[in-house]
């Protein structure tokens, strides 16, 4: 085609959804693999660190809590309690940790037009989700095989609660990631905030064990709901779970919109290096 | 086809809004190669980023009806901690390309061999450029954006790049940016000048280039920090940076290079001389000036220029053969007039070059003027500035210094580092500023203690 043959530009038909999805999938896979390579490399156990690292965390906390005979307000085995609780923390806490500042280190990627700002965050969220999930599942199987805990009473409910925490964590991560590109305050404040929220997030206690007055306030904290659901799925009627889907689902939905909006806002302003 | 309509780009900075592009519009079809001229910081790279889609305009539209590359030869498009191979794999995935085929092409074109297994951060800048270019070539875009491709790499690599781009892909659309307008002239068929946020389009290179010259001419000379050059040696050192940082100088020497390549020696010499009038202590272009003067048969001028280059620190070994040739052509014995090589130390002990002779003559021989033969003779005979100035004072023409007002046009900074080397830079500059423009300058300079630490001059001045 030369200029003489095509003087009038013809706008190509809008891409079909299927093609767009294919490009999207391709980009996410490429970003995921790249992220794994840059983060874990090919040294020693390589990308196995993806879930070995959270496993070590959870194992360590489980061991500590067992040794300290931590009070958690129920007659559940402490190992099971630590497994469900701390895995949930890793899930919602690591995603924002990875997304904050993610754009700065990946600015040059934006020269590839198929890669959008959101893709960079989504890839990191997916990677963290994968790592935390493999760690949780792997340790669960290990403890069950060793006979230290009983199999979950309702696996689907565990999965549902787990996904709910992931949804919240992912939306929070993308929001904070996008904001962190505009203000470094986000990075500075997230670290203390995540440590302060940790004891309140329902990982170290059962809502049922709290005084009724405190329960009301604790249930404003979104991660508590997911953790409670995971515990109910795991332990069935041995615990009395407190959660409100009517609160947490709209919360996550709104947070998702906030995430998409801030990402769009940042994408409009980002200057590739 | 790519179309930009009324594109505006504003960066918000701490010191207010910076309008980089202000109503830029053009369209580009297949087969058209647009060369964009513009000063440093005119917004050329910003425009390329907007076309590539990596960045969005503040206002206006960028429409793409064809696939557009990322800015080519841009090293940042890959991840430095990953190996070359992993980078190729990533790009292949993003663009759904066959990795094995791409790897074979990149390995062949970049000639990186086993380095492809190393992290890119261990590469030299030349290796990075080869990898970046080769990776850019594995995806067949309709439009290529080329931002400063000639910056790195050797001549053979450039030839191969040019063949890939303009030979094999000559039917595509391209937008080219280069610090070298000659590169754009040779490879583009449309031209644009980006200046003051506006883009002007031209079909003819010469027309575009004339406007570009005007735009550069409007630039004020870079402000010069006198304190950076405390003495002549320091002035020589900073002159290299100052000259290359001055767009007017670069423009002139580039034009000189073109004329030289076209064997138009007279025009080339004129450009080099104009450039060196801006930065007289820039040594390497004294060599170029000498070469073109030699080609014209102006052997005395060539000799003075070669000697100046050496006096300013050009390695004598690189120049000696040429110098011997022009001395012999001028009818003298080369062995009798060796090079005075560059010397460190105080201004009076350093070897003089033609700019020094001109400045000394302005002060000591006002109204006389110095021709090529005279300048060459002085540079041949005197191995340092002190003896040269003393010889000028011993000459009958020095008598005019007390009576005649000097002509206009002396390089005040050179005068300062010669005559007022014993003063601080600020003091010396003040002394130069006090020299009267329309009355004899020498008595004032002498009263200010000119050449105080130059023993031969002081001896020559003693009645």
Asked if B93 is an interface residue toward chain A (Cβ–Cβ < 8 A), one would say yes
Nearest by CB to residue A113, choosing from B53, B90, B96, is B53
Distance (Å, whole) CA B311 – CA A51: 68
Strands in B68-72's sheet, in edge-to-edge order, are B68-72, B143-147, B173-177, B33-38, B190-195, B198-202
Distance (Å, whole) CA B202 – CA B37: 11
Tokens for B356, please give them.
Answer: 């020094």
Residue of A nearest to B64 (CA): A11
What's chain A's average pLDDT?
A: 88
Contact A27 B56 (CB under 8 A): no
User: In A, which residues are within 8 Å of B65 by CB distance?
Assistant: 9-12
**Res. A164: pLDDT tops 90:** yes
Contact A271 B11 (CB under 8 A): yes
Selected residue with higher pLDDT from A5 and A235: A235
Domains and CATH numbers, chain B: 2-217 (3.40.50.300), 226-461 (1.25.40.10)
Nearest chain A Cα distance for residue B19, angstroms: 14
User: In B, which residues are within 8 Å of A3 by CB distance?
Assistant: 29-32
Contact A34 B11 (CB under 8 A): no
Contact B11 A114 (CB under 8 A): no
At A46, is the pLDDT very low, low, confident or very high (cuts 50, 70, 90)? confident
Contact B93 A33 (CB under 8 A): yes
Contact B31 A2 (CB under 8 A): yes
Nearest chain A Cα distance for residue B5, angstroms: 14
A88 backbone dihedrals φ, ψ, rounded to 5°: -65, -40
ipTM of the complex: 0.83
Question: SS3 sequence, B230-280?
Answer: CCHHHHHHHHHHHHHCCHHHHHHHHHHHHHHHCCCHHHHHHHHHHHHHHCC
Residue partners of A39: CB distance under 8 A and separation at least 6: A49
Asked if B49 is an interface residue toward chain A (Cβ–Cβ < 8 A), one would say yes
- Per-residue CA distances from B120 to A35, A204, A208, B102, B130 (Å): 16, 45, 55, 17, 11
Q: pLDDT over 90 for what percent of chain B? A: 52
At B225, is the pLDDT very low, low, confident or very high (cuts 50, 70, 90)? low
Per-residue pLDDT tens over the stretch B21-53: 999 999 999 999 999 999 888 899 899 999 988
**Res. B133: pLDDT tops 50:** yes
Residue of B nearest to A13 (CA): B65
Question: SS3 sequence, A119-186?
Answer: HHHHHHHHHHHHHHHHHHHHHHHHHHHCCCCCCCCCHHHHHHHHHHHHHHHHHHHHHHHHHHHHCCHH
User: In B, which residues are within 8 Å of A112 by CB distance?
Assistant: 70, 77, 91, 94-95
What is the Cα gyration radius of chain A? 21
Residue partners of B243: CB distance under 8 A and separation at least 6: B249, B275, B278, B279, B282, B285
Residue partners of B151: CB distance under 8 A and separation at least 6: B73, B129, B179
Asked if B283 is an interface residue toward chain A (Cβ–Cβ < 8 A), one would say no
DSSP string, B443-463: HHHHHTTTTTT-HHHHHHH--
- State CA B451 to chain mean position distance: 33
Nearest Cα neighbor of B30 from A8, A12, A14, A112 is A8
Nearest by CB to residue B77, choosing from A9, A34, A111, is A111
Tokens for B111, please give them.
Answer: 């000639």
pLDDT of residue A123: 96
pLDDT of residue A262: 97
**Res. A175: pLDDT tops 80:** yes
User: In B, which residues are within 8 Å of A115 by CB distance?
Assistant: 94
Distance (Å, whole) CA B285 – CA B272: 7
Scanning B21-40 for CB atoms below 8 A from A yields 27, 29-32
Contact B55 A272 (CB under 8 A): yes
Distance (Å, whole) CA B427 – CA A6: 69
What's chain B's average pLDDT?
A: 89
At B89, is the pLDDT very low, low, confident or very high (cuts 50, 70, 90)? very high
**Res. A4: pLDDT tops 60:** no
CA angle B434, B248, B33 (to 5 degrees): 170
User: In B, which residues are within 8 Å of A7 by CB distance?
Assistant: 29
Sign of CA dihedral A53, A55, A57, A59: negative
Per-residue pLDDT tens over the stretch B337-371: 999 988 888 889 999 999 999 999 999 998 777 89
Distance (Å, whole) CA B257 – CA B251: 10
Selected residue with higher pLDDT from B77 and A121: A121
**Res. A252: pLDDT tops 80:** yes
Nearest by CB to residue B81, choosing from A11, A38, A112, is A38
At A1, is the pLDDT very low, low, confident or very high (cuts 50, 70, 90)? very low
B195 backbone dihedrals φ, ψ, rounded to 5°: -150, 130
Asked if B304 is an interface residue toward chain A (Cβ–Cβ < 8 A), one would say no
**Res. B127: pLDDT tops 80:** yes
Q: pLDDT over 90 for what percent of chain A? A: 55
Asked if A221 and A193 touch (Cβ cutoff 8 Å), the reply is: no
How confident is the model over B193-221, as a mean pLDDT?
Answer: 86
Distance (Å, whole) CA B312 – CA B309: 5
Contact A108 B78 (CB under 8 A): yes
At B245, is the pLDDT very low, low, confident or very high (cuts 50, 70, 90)? confident
Contact B82 A34 (CB under 8 A): yes
**Res. A165: pLDDT tops 90:** yes
- State CA A17 to chain mean position distance: 27
Q: pLDDT over 70 for what percent of chain A? A: 94
Contact A111 B54 (CB under 8 A): yes
Nearest chain B Cα distance for residue A144, angstroms: 39
Distance (Å, whole) CA B62 – CA A135: 46
pLDDT of residue A3: 43
Residue of A nearest to B57 (CA): A268
Selected residue with higher pLDDT from A9 and A117: A117
**Res. A225: pLDDT tops 90:** yes
User: In B, which residues are within 8 Å of A6 by CB distance?
Assistant: 1, 29-30
Nearest Cα neighbor of B339 from B359, B329, B325, B355 is B325
**Extents of the domains making up chain A:** 21-269
Contact A3 B76 (CB under 8 A): no
Nearest by CB to residue B29, choosing from A3, A10, A267, is A3
Contact A30 B93 (CB under 8 A): yes
At A8, is the pLDDT very low, low, confident or very high (cuts 50, 70, 90)? low
Nearest Cα neighbor of B82 from A116, A106, A121, A28 is A106
Chain A with chain B: Cβ pairs closer than 8 A: 79
**Res. A272: pLDDT tops 90:** no
Residue of B nearest to A33 (CA): B90
Find which of A5, A30, A181 to mutate to test the B interface (most B CBs within 10 Å of its CB).
Answer: A30
Nearest chain B Cα distance for residue A131, angstroms: 21
Per-residue pLDDT tens over the stretch B150-172: 656 677 888 888 898 899 998 99
Cβ density class A213-245: b for 16+ within 10 Å, e for less: eeeeebbeebbbbbbbbbbbbbbeeebebbbee
Helix (H, G, I), strand (E, B) or coil at B413: helix
CA atoms within 13 A on the CB side of A172: 20
Per-residue pLDDT tens over the stretch B409-433: 788 889 999 999 888 888 888 899 8
Per-residue pLDDT tens over the stretch A134-162: 999 999 999 999 988 889 999 999 999 99
Find which of A2, A4, A9 to mutate to test the B interface (most B CBs within 10 Å of its CB).
Answer: A9
Asked if A202 and A85 touch (Cβ cutoff 8 Å), the reply is: yes
Per-residue pLDDT tens over the stretch A90-117: 999 999 999 999 998 888 888 888 899 9
Contact A38 B70 (CB under 8 A): no
Distance (Å, whole) CA B352 – CA B347: 9
Per-residue pLDDT tens over the stretch B247-304: 889 889 999 998 999 999 999 999 999 999 999 999 999 999 999 999 999 999 999 9
Nearest chain B Cα distance for residue A3, angstroms: 5
Burial, B308: exposed, middle or buried (Cβ in 10 Å; 0-12, 13-18, 19+)?
buried
Contact B94 A115 (CB under 8 A): yes
B206 backbone dihedrals φ, ψ, rounded to 5°: -60, -40
Nearest by CB to residue A111, choosing from B31, B70, B93, is B70
């Amino acid at each position: 085609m030369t200029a003489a043959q095509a003087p009038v530009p013809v706008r190509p038909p809008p891409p079909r959804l299927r093609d767009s999805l294919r490009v999207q999938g391709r980009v996410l896979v490429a970003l995921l693999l790249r992220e794994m390579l840059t983060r874990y490399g090919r040294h020693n156990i390589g990308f196995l660190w993806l879930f070995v690292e959270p496993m070590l965390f959870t194992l360590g906390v489980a061991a500590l809590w067992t040794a300290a005979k931590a009070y958690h307000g129920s007659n559940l085995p402490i190992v099971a309690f630590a497994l469900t609780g701390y895995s949930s923390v890793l899930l919602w806490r690591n995603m924002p940790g990875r997304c904050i500042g993610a754009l700065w280190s990946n600015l040059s990627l934006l020269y590839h037009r198929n890669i959008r700002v959101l893709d960079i965050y989504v890839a990191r969220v997916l990677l963290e989700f994968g790592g935390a999930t493999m760690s949780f599942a792997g340790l669960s199987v290990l403890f069950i095989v060793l006979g230290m805990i009983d199999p979950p009473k309702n696996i689907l409910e565990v999965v549902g609660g787990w996904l709910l925490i992931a949804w919240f964590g992912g939306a929070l991560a993308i929001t904070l990631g996008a904001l962190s590109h505009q203000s470094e305050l986000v990075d500075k404040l997230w670290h203390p905030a995540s440590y302060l929220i940790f004891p309140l997030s329902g990982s170290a206690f059962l809502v049922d064990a709290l005084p009724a007055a405190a329960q009301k306030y604790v249930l404003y904290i979104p991660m508590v709901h997911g953790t409670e659901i995971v515990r109910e799925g795991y332990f069935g009627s041995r615990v009395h779970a407190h959660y409100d889907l009517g609160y947490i689902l709209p919360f996550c939905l709104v947070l998702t919109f906030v995430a998409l909006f801030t990402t769009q806002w940042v994408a409009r302003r980002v200057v590739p290096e | 086809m790519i179309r930009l309509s009324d594109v505006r780009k504003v960066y918000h900075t701490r010191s207010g809004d910076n309008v980089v592009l202000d109503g830029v519009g053009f369209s580009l079809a297949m087969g058209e190669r647009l060369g964009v001229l513009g000063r440093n910081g005119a917004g050329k790279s910003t425009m390329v980023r907007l076309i590539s889609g990596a960045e969005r305009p503040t206002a206006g539209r960028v429409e793409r009806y064809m696939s557009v590359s990322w800015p080519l030869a841009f090293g940042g498009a890959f991840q430095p901690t990953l190996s070359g191979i992993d980078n190729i794999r990533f790009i292949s995935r993003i663009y759904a390309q066959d990795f094995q085929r791409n790897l074979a092409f990149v390995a062949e074109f970049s000639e990186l061999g086993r380095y492809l297994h190393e992290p890119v951060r261990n590469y030299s800048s030349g290796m990075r450029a080869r990898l970046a270019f080769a990776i850019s070539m594995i995806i067949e875009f309709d439009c290529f954006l080329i931002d400063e491709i000639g910056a790195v790499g050797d001549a053979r690599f450039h030839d191969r790049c040019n063949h890939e781009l303009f030979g094999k892909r000559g039917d595509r659309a391209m937008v080219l940016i280069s610090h070298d307008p000659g590169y754009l002239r040779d490879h583009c068929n449309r031209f644009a000048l980006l200046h003051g946020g506006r883009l002007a389009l031209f079909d003819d290179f010469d027309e575009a280039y004339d406007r570009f010259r005007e735009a550069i001419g409007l630039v004020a000379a870079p402000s010069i920090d006198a304190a950076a050059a405390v003495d002549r040696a320091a002035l020589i050192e900073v002159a290299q940076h100052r000259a290359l940082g001055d767009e007017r100088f670069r423009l002139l020497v580039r034009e000189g290079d073109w004329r030289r390549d076209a064997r138009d020696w007279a025009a080339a010499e004129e450009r080099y001389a104009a450039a060196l009038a801006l930065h007289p202590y820039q040594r390497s272009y004294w060599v170029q000036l000498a070469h073109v003067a030699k080609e014209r048969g102006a052997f005395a001028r060539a000799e003075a220029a070669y000697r100046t280059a050496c006096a300013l620190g050009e390695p004598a070994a690189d120049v000696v053969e040429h110098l011997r040739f022009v001395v012999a052509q001028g009818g003298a014995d080369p062995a009798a007039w060796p090079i005075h090589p560059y010397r460190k130390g105080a201004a009076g002990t350093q070897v003089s070059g033609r700019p020094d002779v001109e400045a000394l003559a302005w002060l000591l021989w006002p109204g006389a003027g110095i021709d090529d033969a005279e300048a060459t003779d002085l540079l041949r005979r005197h191995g340092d500035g002190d003896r040269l100035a003393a010889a000028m004072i011993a000459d009958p023409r020095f008598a005019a210094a007390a009576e005649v007002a000097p002509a206009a046009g002396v390089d005040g900074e050179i005068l300062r580092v010669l005559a007022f080397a014993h003063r601080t830079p600020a003091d010396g500059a003040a002394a130069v500023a006090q020299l009267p423009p329309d009355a004899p300058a020498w008595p004032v300079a002498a009263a200010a203690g000119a050449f105080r630490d130059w023993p031969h001059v002081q001896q020559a001045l003693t009645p």
